[in-house]
Structure 1
Amino acid sequence: MDKPPVILIVEDEPLVRMSTADTISEAGFDVIQARNADEAIAVLELRPDIHLVFTDIHMPGSMDGLRLAHFVRHRWPPVKIIATSGRARISNDDLPEGGRFLPKPYATHEVIGAIRELVG
């Protein structure tokens, strides 16, 4: 049996991160969590099996989610990207090619649908 796609969630709010992780895990995906871009990059360097990064845009640390998205696209081109925010309104054009934006609050089916669309 094929292993499920691995999704990396990057979110600085613990409750939002855990809730999103549970939702994505219940949909049949493997989930890894990171609190910020630096943690996410460390995970990506150790785990070549990451299929998609689901990142918040507003985070403390060395870079926000938008910069992280571009960094991931440049360094790990096959990794898909979904960015989210409750404050910023960005277009898909602000993200690397193929990236998606989901405004918060998002519905479970929106997140799962976007992930399934991007990772198959």
Structure 2
Amino acid sequence: MGQSTPVNRHPVLIVEDEPILRLEALDMVEAAGFEPVEATSVEHAIRILEERPDIRLVYMDLDMPRGIKGIEIAAAIRNRWPPIEIILIAAFSMGEELELPVRAQFFAKPVRYTQIVGAMRSMMAHVGEGDRKCA
């Protein structure tokens, strides 16, 4: 609580269905100085993206249930909202077989938080103020 919070924190949408992993990601994002926004499902994430044009970064688990593959959702986000940056995580290494959307980054679990936070900061370094509709 002794840390000062930046006035203009960029929101980061965290899409994770596992409660403990979601809480860890929320804590990581907040500790890094971003505004964490949580989604418990893909459907919830899409609703949030429709309502929050200020979100420019999505941190998403590829191992989401209910049929639709995480990589397909990431591609759909990239196609619908091109300015959004995407970080994808999964419990397995996908190697060469995974076709990532443009500008998306992939990390295998267990993730090293320093890598994730570094990627977030790098991705958000070029993002200006305002919403993605203006980009």
Instruction: Verify same fold: TM over 0.5.
Output: yes
**The residue matched to 1:41 in structure 2 has which SS?**
helix
State which of 66, 86, 89 in structure 2 corresponds to 1:61.
Answer: 66
Cα deviation, 1:23-56, whole Å, max 9, x if unaligned, reads 1111100011111211100100000000101100
Aligned equivalent of 1:46, options 31, 51, 55: 51
Partner residue in 2 for 1:31: 36
* Alpha-carbon distance between aligned partners in 2 of 1:49 and 1:39, rounded to the nearest angstrom: 16
Query: Matches of residues 3-14 of structure 1 in structure 2 within 5 Å?
Result: 3-14=8-19
Partner of 2:122: 117
Note the C-alpha offset of 1:92. Answer: 9.2
Q: 1:64 to 1:88 in 2, by over 3 A?
A: farther
Which residue of the partner structure matches residue 100 of structure 1?
105
Q: Larger Rg: 1 or 2?
A: 2
Q: SS of the counterpart of 2:56?
A: strand
The residue aligned with 2:89 is: 84
- Amino acid corresponding to residue 34 of structure 1 in structure 2: A
User: Residues 91 and 101 of structure 1 are in contact (CA less than 8 Å); yes or no, is this contact kept in structure 2?
Assistant: no
Normalising by the residue count of structure 2, what TM-score does the alignment of the two structures yield?
0.82
Number of aligned pairs? 120
2:82 is paired with a residue whose SS is coil
What is the RMSD of the two structures over their aligned residues, measured on CA atoms? 1.8
Structure 2 alignment gaps of length 5 or more: 1-5, 126-135
- Deviations 1:37-92, CA, capped at 9 Å, x for gaps: 11100100000000101100011135232111101101111000010001351459
- Percent identical among aligned pairs is 36
Cα distance in 1 for residues equivalent to 2:7 and 2:82: 22
TM-score (normalizing by structure 1): 0.92
